[in-house]
């Protein structure tokens, strides 16, 4: 049995050649079987500075790295402190006395499997491109912000062995768990959030925004590090101390009225932002069971008109790594776990071996190009409300005018319908206003993301940059 436990996942992993980006042979010594443990970023390395030079591309980029055990690679925090200084400097919290603070958009990204923080790593280059795209979008808005990126590196690449590198899928998942759970990433992301809040306190008229993103096992790292924080803050913001009894139509065996206990939500006039402004996870490689409690909590109360998405999870319809390899490995590692009877038990068993986007009852939206055939309806909720998040025929869906139109038209009803943006349709599974929550789980057509690692193509990158923009802003 032990031999079968190893062999079957190995066969599945080997069958996934082409499902994941092959490691770049130039990022480490081609004769080195095991990838370097780092550091990849140090000011003593000529072309691999902790803070990349300003090349007038509209963004700045810094790096923080973690080791195999989830510890900061530099106990002295030399990377982290330099990144904090970069953010403060770009926001003009430090610098010439009397200088007016800047509004910025701060984006922290955690890479996934088979990647690291090397200068020529494909994820590093793609993150640069996303930041450049966000800077381009900003330049078209009335109050543009400077883009500041923070790339969180960890040993997502451990082996340079061609096809055999796919066998590291499960070992890297375990490493990702350590990196996410052991507190180092929570520390870094929390420091950045505190700095972000201080920037807004100093400059409330031109507020800054903070986005955290992760891909694959990087999404697992982000979720592990922030799930408890998000849950606690959501409870604090939306759960009232009031518990009320409600009489039902039923009676007990003695003929007495039956009462049920219901939670009373806190006043909902203020949007919730459980961490930063937005968390984005793409092709997450962790079991959906981890999301169940947060999902259930998020559905217990309504949200105000101004509420924007706070968590957006995107999963490709052709991601075979999470559709096939992931459940194969989880089957063996969970085979002796017990579940409840009935429907709850069936949901537990499925969600414990499948990822969030592959758990249908967790899916809220579908995303595709405007030319794609989508299974969900593109219609808006029917009412007297004439506003819509579907563009007018004479408006370019990629234009700054389109972004402003979405910001102005966003309310409790329009957000429950289809959103047309960047030549794409984001279509809800249900168009009922009451079913909307700011926690999105989106299945993505292969025309935008084809497979596990194809997350950086221009069409999806463009949509993501604009989706982030409308999720952060109201009308400025």
Does position 67 have pLDDT exceeding 60, yes or no? yes
Neighbours of 22 (CB within 10 A): 15
Find all residues with CB under 8 Å of 30, minimum gap 6, and list them.
160
Does position 28 have pLDDT exceeding 60, yes or no? no
Residue 149, pLDDT score: 97
Rounded CA separation 330/346 (Å)? 16
Does position 76 have pLDDT exceeding 60, yes or no? yes
3-state secondary structure of 358: helix
Nearest to 462, CA basis, from 76, 195, 235, 129:
129
Taking all residues of the chain, what is their mean pLDDT, rounded to a whole number? 84
Rounded CA separation 342/344 (Å)? 6
Residue 302, pLDDT score: 86
Neighbours of 250 (CB within 10 A): 10
Q: With 0-12 CB in 10 A as exposed, 13-18 as middle and 19+ as buried, what is 333?
A: middle
Residue 437, pLDDT score: 94
Does position 154 have pLDDT exceeding 80, yes or no? yes
Residue 165, pLDDT score: 75
The pLDDT-based confidence of 15 (bands split at 50, 70, 90) is: very low
Comparing 337 with 215, which gets the higher pLDDT? 215
Domain ranges of the chain: 2-242+272-365+436-472
| pLDDT tens by residue, 221-250 | 999 999 999 999 999 888 765 566 656 666
Rounded CA separation 178/189 (Å)? 16
| pLDDT tens by residue, 106-136 | 999 999 988 999 988 999 999 999 999 999 9
Neighbours of 98 (CB within 10 A): 5
Report the range of poorest mean pLDDT among 318-327, 363-372, 400-409: 400-409
Does position 24 have pLDDT exceeding 50, yes or no? no
| pLDDT tens by residue, 262-272 | 666 666 678 99
Neighbours of 43 (CB within 10 A): 12
Residue 253, pLDDT score: 67
Q: What is the pTM of this model?
A: 0.86
CB 104 within 8 A of CB 197: no
Helices (H) then strands (E): counts for the chain: 12, 12
Residue 258, pLDDT score: 67
Could you give the percent of the chain with pLDDT greater than 90?
A: 53
Name residue, tokens 């929390």: 190
Does position 376 have pLDDT exceeding 90, yes or no? no
Rounded CA separation 193/182 (Å)? 19
């Amino acid at each position: 049995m032990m031999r079968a436990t190893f062999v079957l996942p190995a066969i599945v992993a080997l069958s996934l050649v082409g499902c994941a980006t092959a490691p770049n042979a130039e990022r480490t010594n081609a004769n080195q079987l095991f990838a370097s443990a780092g550091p990849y970023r140090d000011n003593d390395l000529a072309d691999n500075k902790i803070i990349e030079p300003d090349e007038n591309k509209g963004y700045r980029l810094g790096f923080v790295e973690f080791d195999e055990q989830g510890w900061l690679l530099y106990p002295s925090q030399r990377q982290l402190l330099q990144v904090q200084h970069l953010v403060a400097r770009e926001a003009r919290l430090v610098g010439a006395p009397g200088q007016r603070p800047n509004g910025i958009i701060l984006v922290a990204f955690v890479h996934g499997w088979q990647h690291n923080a090397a200068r020529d790593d494909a994820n590093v280059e793609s993150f640069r491109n996303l930041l450049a795209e966000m800077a381009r979008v900003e330049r078209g808005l009335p109050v543009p912000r400077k883009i500041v990126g923070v790339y969180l590196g960890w040993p997502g690449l451990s082996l340079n062995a061609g096809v055999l590198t796919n066998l590291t899928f499960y070992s890297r998942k375990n490493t990702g768990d350590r990196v996410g759970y052991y507190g180092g990433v929570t520390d870094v992301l929390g420091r950045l959030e505190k700095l972000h809040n201080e920037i807004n306190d100093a400059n409330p008229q031109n507020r800054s925004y903070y986005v955290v993103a992760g891909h694959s096992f990087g999404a697992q790292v982000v979720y592990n590090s922030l799930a408890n924080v998000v849950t606690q803050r959501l409870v604090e913001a939306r759960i009232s101390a009031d518990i009320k009894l409600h009489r039902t139509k039923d009676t007990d065996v003695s003929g007495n009225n039956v009462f049920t206990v219901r939670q009373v939500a806190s006043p909902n006039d203020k949007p919730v932002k459980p961490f930063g402004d937005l968390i984005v996870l793409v092709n997450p490689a962790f079991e959906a069971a981890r999301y169940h409690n947060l999902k259930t909590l998020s559905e217990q109360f309504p949200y105000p008109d101004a509420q924007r998405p706070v968590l957006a999870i995107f999963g490709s319809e052709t991601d075979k790594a999470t559709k096939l390899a992931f459940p194969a490995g989880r089957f063996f590692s969970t085979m002796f776990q017990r579940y409840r009877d009935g429907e709850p038990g069936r949901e537990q068993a499925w969600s414990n071996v499948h990822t969030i986007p592959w758990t249908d009852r967790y899916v809220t939206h579908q995303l595709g190009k405007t030319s794609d055939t989508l299974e969900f309806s593109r219609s808006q909720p029917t009412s007297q409300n004439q506003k819509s998040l579907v563009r007018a025929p004479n408006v370019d869906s990629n234009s700054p005018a389109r972004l402003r139109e979405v910001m102005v038209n966003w309310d409790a009803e329009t957000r429950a319908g289809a959103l047309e943006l960047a030549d794409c349709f984001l279509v809800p599974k249900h168009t009922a206003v009451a079913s909307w929550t700011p926690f999105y789980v989106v299945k993505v057509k292969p025309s935008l993301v084809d497979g596990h690692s194809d997350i950086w193509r221009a069409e999806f990158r463009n949509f993501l940059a604009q989706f982030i923009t409308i999720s952060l802003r109201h009308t400025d």
